[in-house]
Structure 1
Amino acid sequence: MSNKNHQNTLHVHVRWRPLNESEVAGGQIEQQSTAVNTSSLLSISVNSQSLGNGRPWTSPPAFQAVLEPQADNAYVYESIVAPAIPKILEGESCNFFAYGHSGSGKTHTVIGYDYEEDSKVGLCLAASQRLFDSLNSLRANGRETDDDKCRLGVGFSLFELRKNTAFDLLNGRKQCHIREGADGKTHIRGQTELLDGGRVRVQPLAQRACWTFDSLREELKQSLGQRAVGSSTVHNQSSRTHAVLKLEVVNRRLVEARRAVVERESELVPVGKRATDIAIEEQTRGVMKSAEGAWVANPDYRVNQQRIDEALAEKAIYEARVEAAEQHVSTVLSSNEAGRLGGKMVFVDLAGAEYQAEKGAQNVKQRVKQTPQERQEARQINTDLLALKEVIRAWSADEARIPFRLSPLTMVLREHFVGVAGGTSAMIVTVSPAKSQYAATLNSLKYGSLVGTVSS
């Protein structure tokens, strides 16, 4: 374990899912977790007699907790997510990742397949419910204003990444573009709309502001129906994408302020284009080709610098309007006296990757057969996951340069790592206890131990 003085720490937890009916006859992986020396972290040992040598694998001390199969979603929520709610209500941010092979229970953990029963609700909905309960309690106790524009609610955005492309699940699964802006930040841009007067509106990733938990739950259920799944050789409803869901404490003033930024940007587009066109036109007229083919000053035309300056001055006015709108967003965020506005929780349901069996495996059932498309998807998924590990390592070590550009996944998560105050993050490694899944479970535990070791 490294000795670091900073606070950037990602806690890694392991969640064993129960055996399903079809796996009972095949047997269960032998596993145990122990505390090593004086470390507060746990080490995990696993063994499967289905491997030829039968030797156990033991991790270094890397895991904050090991959740046994009988632990339901409500227990997972209270153990891992609930402690972060007070921080969100103080305007801070936190990240939660679910990692594991297909069929290990990632989506069940983060999203859930039952939206009503408390023990089965996914972590994101359980967190939403607790946020609304806390906000309602604050309002009932007179600690929050009744002003409709300042009333706090929860906004959420939901998108998925597949093959280097983002899809906005709150906007009909429309394709979005991932770009790094001049400000050094990553922007997810949606559809481009042509408006009257030559204005161009580039839609940002959609955020849906909700003022009750019931409305958020219904919106989330509808948007999750847009998520792409595929029938893989491991799981007939395998998540072939990374899903990123962000919850944020918002109010109507903040929503309107952000909408105004988009409008001011759309007004700037035609003005900026006109300034560029005028400058190019004047400079083009001011030169000509000589008899030798070289570009020289045109003696018959004098560049109208006043025209260029006037166009640039108009552009500067509109740029100032954009800047003022952006500043207003910052003012709204900072004007919330209790500091609750802008607090974020980010849940990432990482795509499940299938792994080949360890060398020497004798049981052919250990070998995962993949189609060419699955192999291609698995390569991209593994590239993303390795990039995420490197980002976590650099972030935990408080390095000056964090390699967010390694993959689209780490690019879109940049703001969530940079914006985490005090380094509040957690990863849940979901694994199967079935012997038939030993190779995939072992690889998941190895990945989790690497992340836990570098981030602890």
Structure 2
Amino acid sequence: MRQNKLDVHVRWRPLNESEAAGGQIEQQRGAGTTSSLSSLSVDCPSTGNCRAWMSPPAFQSVLGPHDDNAYVYESIASPAITDILRGGSCNFFAYGHSGSGKTHTIIGYDYEEDSKLGLCLAASKKLFEALDSLQARGIETDDDECRLGIGFSLFELRRNTAFDLLNERKGCHIREGADGKTHIRGQTEMMDGGRVRVQPLTQRACWTFDSLREELKQSFGRRATGSSTVHDQSSRTHAVLKLEIVNRRLMEARAAVVERESELVPVGKRATDIAIEEQTKGVMKNAEGAWVVNPDYQVNQTRIDEADAEKSIYEARVAAAKEHVDTLLSSDETGCLGGKMVFVDLAGSEYQTEKGAQGVKQTSQERQEGRQINTDLLALKEVIRAWSADEVRIPFRLSPLTMVLREHFVGAAGGTSAMIVTVSPAKSQYAATLNSLKYGSLVGMASS
């Protein structure tokens, strides 16, 4: 079994026009003496007591300002495609301060030109090409129910709430279930016959790259922005995008699970109500105020047992529906059904709390959000450290971010995963850049 590993890369973005006059940070890449990893040193731009900083050998690669998105994809994400087509999973994170190029790297701002596509769109295009090739070679059946496509979900995490960007940004609850897994649940819908349907996070199936690109473009435009310590249009949320190889049969089977669960709700509630009613009638208070057996009432155990038996039938239906999903995934002839790529555009890391280097004033709520973001990012570092070391206990409960990523870390065991630390070369952003590099080096050392 391969060890869990997360490669860390650094990507320097180009200077923009407003930063050119202020000068550029001097940086130099070095190779470790006992490792294939690279170190990175940056010179302090001030003339005070500030000293140059050098990282330990922690970075898999260092990408320069002239390396476009296509090069980043080929260098970092492309090797994972083979694993995904075998049903595997992988995670890609973009970490950095506000304005350093995280969203440009993960999503991209030009949805048409191949060299400017973000990692998620470049990967989905390659996956569609591979799926089309499978169909052309006859590996995939002509049955429309088994036609392979890509299902994607997209949500943003702001403080303790997830917002479904494929469902008009509706809020979702983050809950840990009895199965030990973290579930993201949407709106509760009351239906006929007392049924209650709890909508799962939206997953939309796309059968062509063009349709996925258009859906992603529209949904990502709903992401919230706010003021950071750097600028006033910073992404103040963590965006999590999941691509999964699906077919219509799998999507229908998952919808059936939700339907069976909705049917179980009124039956389960009735069984609970009957048990409580019978047990309540079976006790009474005595003269001293203590609860004792009620001699005038005999608990109707038959009624309780009948309600429990009906509940068991519906529970079995839920279990059968879930088992059918598992069977579809395990019996897939192509071997790629259920393969996942998860892309996380982390909120901009904060290193100040009052006023940023560019003079952007934050509200108290935005400063509070900044503290929560930092808490999430520190928790992520601890999870990566424990996951890479294959520890028995991985602290997923440290923050909402690590809770919702639990499934993806567990599923990516032994696969290809990476973090891209995006940094600005502007001298005015030296403190933020240094903070990002230090975080990246700690993650790189922990997972090396």
What interval of TM-score do these two structures reach, taking the shorter chain for normalisation? over 0.9
1:295 to 291, 295, 300: 291
Quick one: which amino acid aligns to residue 424 of structure 1? T
- Residue of structure 2 in register with 1:361 after alignment: none
Per the TM alignment, residue 291 of structure 1 is displaced from its structure 2 partner at its CA by: 1.2
d(CA) in 2 for partners of 1:226 and 1:196? 33
- Residue of structure 2 in register with 1:156 after alignment: 152
What SS does the corresponding residue of 2:146 show, helix, strand or coil? coil
- Residue of structure 1 in register with 2:441 after alignment: 449
Mapping of residues 15-414 of structure 1, within 5 Å: 15-50=11-46, 52-356=48-352, 365=357, 370-414=362-406
RMSD (CA atoms): 1.5
Contact 2:227 2:362 in 1 (8 A): no
Quick one: which amino acid aligns to residue 72 of structure 1? D
Per the TM alignment, residue 281 of structure 1 is displaced from its structure 2 partner at its CA by: 0.5
Deviations, residues 329-380 of structure 1 (Å, cap 9, x unaligned): 00010110221000000000000023139xxxxxx95888644233211110
Per the TM alignment, residue 39 of structure 1 is displaced from its structure 2 partner at its CA by: 1.1
Quick one: which amino acid aligns to residue 380 of structure 1? Q
Structure 1's unaligned 5+ residue stretches are 358-363
Quick one: which amino acid aligns to residue 185 of structure 1? K
Per the TM alignment, residue 236 of structure 1 is displaced from its structure 2 partner at its CA by: 3.3
Per the TM alignment, residue 301 of structure 1 is displaced from its structure 2 partner at its CA by: 0.9
What SS does the corresponding residue of 2:217 show, helix, strand or coil? helix
Quick one: which amino acid aligns to residue 78 of structure 1? E
Contact 1:115 1:217 in 2 (8 A): yes
Contact 1:354 1:368 in 2 (8 A): no
What SS does the corresponding residue of 1:342 show, helix, strand or coil? coil
Contact 1:356 1:440 in 2 (8 A): no
Per the TM alignment, residue 298 of structure 1 is displaced from its structure 2 partner at its CA by: 1.1
Quick one: which amino acid aligns to residue 200 of structure 1? V
Moved more, 340-349 or 216-225: 216-225
What SS does the corresponding residue of 1:119 show, helix, strand or coil? helix
What SS does the corresponding residue of 1:250 show, helix, strand or coil? strand
Structure 2's unaligned 5+ residue stretches are none
TM-score by length of 2: 0.97
Contact 2:191 2:197 in 1 (8 A): yes
Deviations, residues 62-120 of structure 1 (Å, cap 9, x unaligned): 00000000001011011100110011000000000000000000001001111101111
- Identity between Structure 1 and Structure 2 (%): 82
d(CA) in 1 for partners of 2:226 and 2:81? 34
TM-score by length of 1: 0.96
What SS does the corresponding residue of 1:176 show, helix, strand or coil? strand
Deviations, residues 285-338 of structure 1 (Å, cap 9, x unaligned): 111111111111111111100000000000000000000000000001011022
Quick one: which amino acid aligns to residue 134 of structure 1? A
d(CA) in 2 for partners of 1:341 and 1:324? 20
What SS does the corresponding residue of 1:26 show, helix, strand or coil? coil
Contact 1:32 1:46 in 2 (8 A): yes
d(CA) in 2 for partners of 1:8 and 1:149? 35
Quick one: which amino acid aligns to residue 396 of structure 1? S
Contact 1:366 1:438 in 2 (8 A): no
What SS does the corresponding residue of 2:29 show, helix, strand or coil? strand
What SS does the corresponding residue of 2:324 show, helix, strand or coil? helix
The 1:230/1:365 distance shift into structure 2, 3 A limit, reads: closer
d(CA) in 1 for partners of 2:199 and 2:434? 43
